[in-house]
Copies of this chain bind each other. A is one copy, B any other.
Amino acid sequence: MDQVFKNVKISVNTELYLKDPESTPLGKNIIGQGILLIDKVGFEKFTFKKLGAEINSNESSIYRYFENKHKYLLYITNWFWGWKELQLTMMTLGINDPFKKLLKGIEVMAHPVVEDMRFKHINEVALNNIIINESSKSYLTKKVDEENKHGHFVIYKRLVSRISEMISAVDPGYEYPFSLATTIIDGSIHQHFINQHFSSITDQRAENSPAGYFENMVSNLLKKTNER
């Protein structure tokens, strides 16, 4: 497994950048340090000028890679979903039992993120924090429909479809596979947010992962094929 996936590159819609940031050291720096900077100051206070200062480069140089900071956010969120999709594929590859496969999928989506050594310039933990705290700003805009037409959300939607297929493989009779898939994916993110900031409305438990909640959910909602 390791060898096959060793030199993977997560490919993101080319419309999202002017010049591929993966193609140069400066580009990789823009991504790597930009993620840390957004994690630190928040997306609102993040500017290309500040990022330029951070990497000893210039605002104008960053503008040669990305049109604006909104496209930048779309780029890194797409990268994140592409990365998650890769993990999902790898982790469920050898599992034949549909229910076990789904449980593994839930684990991949819900467990806290750990560093991936294959992508040295990207801090996945910081990126995951951005997904938790900022990512919905990438689609909550008046331009969603237009950007959706341009395929700016395909990776995310493909991931939802994959999970929904896993759900239907367990129970083809279940009526809401897509809704349940988004509940698992977006619900995981939201539960992490609530754990971090609104702990008074959480179901206290030691492990810092909502995986148990979603596992219990699918176990009770889905009838395995022979049961229905």
A residues engaging B (CB < 8 A)? 41-42, 44-45, 133-134, 136-137, 139-142, 144-145, 148, 153, 157, 160-161, 164, 175-183, 186-187, 190-191, 193-194, 197-198, 200-203, 210, 212-213, 216-217, 220-221
Complexed CA–CA distance, A193 and B182 (Å): 12
Q: Are B142 and A140 in contact (CB under 8 A)?
A: no
- Residues of B contacting A187 in the complex (Cβ-Cβ under 8 angstroms): 183, 187
- Residues of B contacting A190 in the complex (Cβ-Cβ under 8 angstroms): 182, 186
- Residues of B contacting A194 in the complex (Cβ-Cβ under 8 angstroms): 182
Complexed CA–CA distance, A193 and B172 (Å): 25
Q: Are A157 and B42 in contact (CB under 8 A)?
A: no
Complexed CA–CA distance, A220 and B216 (Å): 11
Q: Pick the contact of A203 from B45, B175, B220 — CB < 8 Å?
A: B175
- Residues of B contacting A153 in the complex (Cβ-Cβ under 8 angstroms): 198
> Given A178-B203, A217-B217, are A198 and B157 neighbors across the interface (CB < 8 Å)?
yes
Q: Which 5 A-B residue pairs are closest in the complex by CB-CB distance?
A: A42-B142, A160-B201, A176-B213, A179-B213, A178-B203
The residue on B at minimum CB distance from A157 is: B201
Complexed CA–CA distance, A130 and B42 (Å): 22
Complexed CA–CA distance, A74 and B140 (Å): 17
> Given A140-B136, A142-B42, are A179 and B198 neighbors across the interface (CB < 8 Å)?
no
Q: Are A140 and B137 in contact (CB under 8 A)?
A: yes
